[in-house]
Amino acid sequence: MKNIGTILATSLLSGVVTLGSYKLFFEDTAFLKTTTNLTTSAPLRNISNTAFETPDFKTAAEKSIHTVVHVKNVSFRNTPRNPIMEYFYGYQGGQTYAQVGTGSGVIISEDGYIVTNNHVIQNASELEITLNDNRTFKAKLIGTDSKMDIALLKINTNEKLPFATFADSDAINVGDWVLAVGNPYNLTSTVTAGIVSAKARNLSENGIQSFIQTDAAVNPGNSGGALVNSNGDLIGINTMISSATGSYVGYSFAIPSNMTRKIVNDLMEYGKVQQGILGVQGFEINSQVAAENKLNFKHGFYVENVTKNSGAEIAGIKKGDIIYKVDDRTINSFLDLNSIIATKRPNDKVKVILKRNNQEKELMVTLSKKELAQIQFNGFEIENLSSSEQKALGIDYGVKINSISNKRFKAYENELKNAVVLAINGNKIKNTEMANEVLSHLNDQQLRIDLITPRGERLRLIL
């Protein structure tokens, strides 16, 4: 009986172990299989296929590299004479020596028109262009726009040249890939890549410039070269580096192609830039300005003053208006406004959408010729006299000093502001167009301005 009990106990224990093992290793494994199938039902991603892929720039580089040229600027200087050095040491003064500067340029037509920066060719006595195939040509200066730092050159060749195609710089977006093509440090045919870091950057005190900012490496010698999109089309002219060392530190700037194209067309057709103006002065709206002026509008350009006889005045724009769209483009600042107007000519029409007393108005404004309304020179803003002002003074000529930003003359602002300019260097001035014509032909000679102060005193101002 004892043996039978032992056998039964052993059998029972074996059954329990067997059942437990089955539960553990077979049913739980099935559960794990089911769970595993649920968590891995989606296919695993191929990491190599989803890794970040850099765009292929070979086509864009090949397309643009042959349109970019090397520009050599040769100017001649005279060494000063020094009688003491000449007597004791045999120093030879008064001799002429050549000074050479270099930069880049972009061919924009098959017959040899080339755009570059004004500072690349400034004060040049001779200009030499070297193509990407190492052929060299003498270049002729067609015209410049010093404010926007653009110059137009021309070379003569019997062959059709490769040229850059202008793209719409307004269509680019922050984050778009770009290539900078140029000749930094006299190294020919250099291509660097980056992205558009920002648009409508202003680095000047007068607020007329609107740069494309990029992180593509641009160094001395790149000035005047091409900034192109991923298709190899021209979206800007590389112009400057903001750096304490003068070399690339992570960002650089280019003049937008839309602005460049307008300047180039003006220089080809008229020999000088035709600048239209809207005829408003003011400031951009932010939260503080909105609160101070009790405005319920948080962005736009607040019109503080309207230029007399300008397109804005004729169209009905008034002080206190808030311009927030021009040609369907949003306006947040004067720079936004100016970047649109800078691509227009006098007599072009623009659609202005504004708020007046919280009511929306749409006006068509014909841009005025800048010289006909006002000009700026050496920190003086000059505008035409109205017929009533001429009658009150008993004259039929003269222009008025509207404002003074030149710090040297700020102390005399009470005497000079609203003074009437009668003559410049002996030339009788009838209007701002004549004043602009006289001032545009000045070099470094002394400037004499004859004027009548608001108190009726006649003065001669020497600049």
Residue 296 contacts residue 290 (beta carbons within 8 Å): yes
How many domains does the chain contain in total?
A: 4
Residue 169 contacts residue 236 (beta carbons within 8 Å): yes
Nearest in space to 284 (alpha carbons), one of 303, 302, 304: 302
Confidence class of residue 376 from pLDDT cuts 50, 70 and 90?
Answer: low
Q: Does residue 117 share a domain with residue 93?
A: yes
Burial (0-12, 13-18, 19+ Cβ within 10 Å), 13 = exposed
Query: Is the model's pLDDT at 172 over the cut of 60?
Result: yes
Does residue 159 form part of some domain?
A: no
Answer yes or no: 257 catalytic: no
Interior angle at CA 258, CA 256 and CA 264, nearest 5: 100
Query: Is the model's pLDDT at 128 over the cut of 90?
Result: yes
Does residue 287 form part of some domain?
A: yes
Confidence class of residue 53 from pLDDT cuts 50, 70 and 90?
Answer: low
Q: Does residue 210 share a domain with residue 124?
A: no
What is the average pLDDT across 337-346? Answer: 86
List the CATH number of the domain containing 93.
2.40.10.10
Confidence class of residue 195 from pLDDT cuts 50, 70 and 90?
Answer: very high
pLDDT of residue 30: 42
Residue 350 contacts residue 280 (beta carbons within 8 Å): no
Helix (H) / strand (E) element for 106: namely: strand 96-107
- Domain final residue pick, 346, 370, 394: 370
Q: Which range marks the domain in which residue 133 is found?
A: 66-154
Q: Does residue 138 share a domain with residue 71?
A: yes
pLDDT of residue 45: 44
Of 44-48, 81-85, 106-110, 189-193, where does mean pLDDT reach its minimum?
A: 44-48
Name the DSSP class of 216.
S
pLDDT of residue 270: 85
What is the average pLDDT across 319-338? Answer: 87
Confidence class of residue 108 from pLDDT cuts 50, 70 and 90?
Answer: very high
Q: Does residue 281 share a domain with residue 266?
A: no
What is the average pLDDT across 129-146? Answer: 92
Answer yes or no: 339 catalytic: no
Catalytic residue among 64, 104, 145, 149: 149
- Domain final residue pick, 223, 252, 270: 270
List the CATH number of the domain containing 296.
2.30.42.10
What is the average pLDDT across 119-141? Answer: 91
Does residue 245 form part of some domain?
A: yes
Residue 291 backbone phi and psi in degrees, to 5: -70, -45
Q: Does residue 144 share a domain with residue 175?
A: no
pTM for this one?
0.66
Of 71-85, 122-136, 184-198, 215-229, where does mean pLDDT reach its minimum?
A: 71-85
pLDDT of residue 75: 77
Catalytic residue among 119, 210, 252, 333: 119
Q: Does residue 173 share a domain with residue 150?
A: no
Q: What pLDDT digit, counting tens, does each position of 280-314 carry? A: 878 888 777 777 777 777 788 888 878 777 899 89
Question: H-type helices in 114-245, by residue range?
Answer: 118-121
Does residue 163 form part of some domain?
A: no
Query: Is the model's pLDDT at 373 over the cut of 60?
Result: no
CA dist list (Å): 265 to 113, 143, 445: 11, 11, 31
Q: Does residue 186 share a domain with residue 227?
A: yes
Does residue 334 form part of some domain?
A: yes
Does residue 47 form part of some domain?
A: no
Does residue 36 form part of some domain?
A: no
pLDDT of residue 440: 61
pLDDT of residue 46: 44
Q: Does residue 318 share a domain with residue 283?
A: yes
Answer yes or no: 403 catalytic: no
pLDDT of residue 62: 92
Q: Does residue 218 share a domain with residue 259?
A: yes
pLDDT of residue 29: 44
CA dist list (Å): 379 to 205, 207, 402, 403: 12, 14, 11, 8
What is the average pLDDT across 134-157? Answer: 92
pLDDT of residue 152: 96
Interior angle at CA 440, CA 450 and CA 238, nearest 5: 140
Confidence class of residue 50 from pLDDT cuts 50, 70 and 90?
Answer: very low
Which residues have C-beta within 8 Å of that of residue 224, sequence separation ≥ 6? 71, 103, 104, 105, 106, 115, 116, 117, 120, 151, 182, 237, 238, 239
Q: How many helices (H) and strands (E) does the chain have?
A: 14, 28
Does residue 35 form part of some domain?
A: no
Distance CA 70, CA 223 (A): 10
- Domain final residue pick, 370, 393, 420: 370
Highest mean pLDDT among 129-138, 237-246, 403-412: 129-138
Share of the chain above pLDDT 70, in %: 74
What is the average pLDDT across 229-257? Answer: 81
Q: Does residue 149 share a domain with residue 177?
A: no
